[in-house]
């Protein structure tokens, strides 16, 4: 069920017309539905059911503290990749005991901070990281709960930039050397081996690559058991892909049921780190047409949102649907490229869309809740946009649009030399 719905010609989110939100908060602006975020999280939580384990929302997908708060209130765990993300979780009221820490480049300070907070697990990505974590934990008089992120060398069949489980990717520990690294982990002070994890990529719209990875991880777990290393949890990384256009991802229930069934009689808790599938289709980016520029070759609609606001189309050739907030009254339907004000040919948010457009027309770039705002920047000295969370017929401003002062905060002029 979509929380976006057209009522009397107006595209609405939950109980509110998006045009009204655009009037109140301006454009460009990200809008999110609380109900959609909750529904998506609950699909995972319910699919896991009473099986031991955790759903740890991947904060990187959308790290606004109000979004994290909504999830924390449902009891969600969190997958973080930096101290900043951990601090966001704490601000939002999240439980550090439900936090897992992923990422290839954790620093000494980040490790010490996370240990001090009492997080649930470090997903360690290399032998070198393991040695440092042991040293830091020993210095802090702490024991670091650890899972090794194994690279199972499976093809996730997704965009190469978001494929992470192949030998040639920088992520994880080669599955062929994992046994050795586990034995080292078991012998190190300050380390407690708890789990095995992998993350093979994002926007996977089929379960098979996950199942292939699972088989390899289960073999490893059995081998470890033979050597006396008991694994308590298995973490299969990110969630399944979402429907942007015509993708047909499997249901979360089906996906998790199959995984549970494949565990056989092994007593393993299950962890998942879904990001995109919790928030992508809960959000949209609202934008307004500034100018129409039909040319002999192409029709360009210059809109006020640009690649700095949502880089996904430019970076991954991502396709996201475009919906008018209200149909144009007098325009004819043509093919349009929606481009932003940034001085780059790669600055577009949608290409070749059949739309009836007029200047001032407002549009929604759909499925923008994940990897949208979080990847935005101040390129071309454009302020980062507002974020609004809709809850029934209430709209909450959860991030104010940046001002020019925000943009230059922290910059400094050089001291003037005499005579200048």
Residues between 157 and 176 that touch ligand LLP (CB under 6 A):
162
Given 85, 129, 153, 273, the residue binding ligand LLP (CB under 6 A): 273
* Minimum CB–partner distance for residue 233 and ligand LLP (Å): 15
Given 300, 316, 319, 379, the residue binding ligand LLP (CB under 6 A): 316
Question: Scanning the structure block, which residue is given the tokens 């050597």?
Answer: 227
Residue 322 to residue 41: CA distance in whole angstroms: 25
In the bound state with ligand LLP, the residue whose beta carbon lies nearer, of 28 and 239, is 239
The helix (run of H) or strand (run of E) holding residue 144 is: strand 144-151
- The reply on whether position 274 binds ligand LLP by CB under 6 A is yes
Tokens of 276: 């995109």
Q: Whose CB is nearest to ligand LLP?
A: 238
Given 41, 244, 371, 373, the residue binding ligand LLP (CB under 6 A): 371
Residues between 177 and 206 that touch ligand LLP (CB under 6 A):
199, 202-203
* Minimum CB–partner distance for residue 9 and ligand LLP (Å): 31
* Minimum CB–partner distance for residue 125 and ligand LLP (Å): 9
- The reply on whether position 275 binds ligand LLP by CB under 6 A is yes
Radius of gyration of the chain (CA): 23
Residue 142 to residue 11: CA distance in whole angstroms: 53
Residue 381 to residue 407: CA distance in whole angstroms: 7
- The reply on whether position 57 binds ligand LLP by CB under 6 A is no
* Minimum CB–partner distance for residue 351 and ligand LLP (Å): 17
- The reply on whether position 43 binds ligand LLP by CB under 6 A is no
Given 54, 312, 362, 384, the residue binding ligand LLP (CB under 6 A): 312
- The reply on whether position 102 binds ligand LLP by CB under 6 A is yes
- Judge contact between 171 and 104, C-beta under 8 A: yes
Tell me if residue 11 falls in helix, strand or coil. Answer: strand
Give the active site residues: 343
Q: Across-strand partners of 31?
A: 284, 388
Residues between 213 and 272 that touch ligand LLP (CB under 6 A):
237-239
Residue 108 to residue 94: CA distance in whole angstroms: 23
Q: What is the DSSP string of 38-96?
A: HHHHHHHHHHHTTSSEEEEEEGGG---HHHHHHHHHTT-EEEESSHHHHHHHHHTT--G
- The reply on whether position 209 binds ligand LLP by CB under 6 A is no
The helix (run of H) or strand (run of E) holding residue 123 is: strand 121-124
* Minimum CB–partner distance for residue 101 and ligand LLP (Å): 10
Positions that interact with ligand LLP (CB under 6 A) = 58, 61, 79, 102, 162, 199, 202-203, 237-239, 273-277, 312, 316, 371
């Amino acid at each position: 069920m979509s929380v976006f719905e057209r009522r009397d010609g107006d595209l609405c989110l939950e109980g509110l017309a998006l045009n009204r939100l655009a009037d109140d908060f301006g454009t460009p602006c990200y809008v999110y539905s609380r109900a959609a975020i909750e529904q998506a999280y609950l699909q995972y939580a319910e699919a896991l059911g009473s099986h031991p384990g955790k759903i740890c929302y991947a904060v990187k997908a959308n790290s606004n503290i109000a979004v994290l708060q909504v999830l924390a209130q449902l009891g969600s765990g969190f997958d973080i990749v930096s101290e900043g993300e951990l601090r966001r979780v704490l601000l939002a009221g999240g439980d550090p005991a439900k936090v897992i820490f992923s990422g290839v480049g954790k620093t000494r300070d980040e490790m010490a901070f996370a240990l001090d907070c009492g997080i649930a697990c470090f997903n360690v990505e290399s032998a070198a990281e393991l040695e440092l974590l042991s040293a830091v934990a020993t210095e802090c008089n702490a024991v670091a709960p650890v899972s090794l992120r194994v690279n199972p060398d499976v093809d996730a069949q997704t965009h190469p930039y978001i494929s992470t489980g192949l030998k040639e990717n920088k992520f994880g520990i080669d599955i062929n050397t994992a046994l050795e690294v586990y034995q080292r982990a078991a012998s190190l002070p300050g380390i407690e081996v708890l789990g095995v994890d992998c993350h093979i990529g994002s926007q996977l719209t089929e379960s098979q690559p996950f199942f292939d990875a699972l088989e390899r991880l289960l073999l490893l777990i059995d081998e470890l058991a033979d050597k006396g290393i008991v694994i308590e949890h298995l973490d299969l990384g990110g969630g399944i892909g979402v429907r942007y256009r015509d993708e047909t991802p499997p249901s979360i229930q089906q996906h998790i049921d199959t995984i549970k069934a494949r565990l056989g009689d092994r007593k393993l808790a299950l962890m998942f780190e879904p990001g995109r599938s919790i928030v992508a289709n809960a959000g949209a980016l609202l934008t307004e047409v500034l100018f129409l520029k039909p040319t002999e070759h192409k029709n360009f609609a210059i809109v006020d949102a640009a690649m700095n606001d949502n880089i996904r189309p430019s970076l991954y050739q991502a396709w996201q649907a475009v919906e008018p907030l209200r149909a144009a009254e007098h325009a004819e339907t043509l093919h349009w490229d929606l481009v932003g004000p940034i001085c780059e040919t790669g600055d577009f948010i949608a290409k070749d869309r059949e739309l009836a457009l007029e200047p001032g027309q407002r549009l929604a770039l759909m499925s923008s809740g994940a990897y949208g705002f979080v990847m935005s920047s101040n390129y071309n000295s454009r302020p980062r946009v507002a974020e609004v969370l809709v809850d029934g017929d209430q709209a909450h401003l959860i991030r104010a649009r940046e001002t020019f002062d925000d943009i230059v905060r922290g910059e400094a002029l050089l001291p003037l030399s005499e005579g200048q």
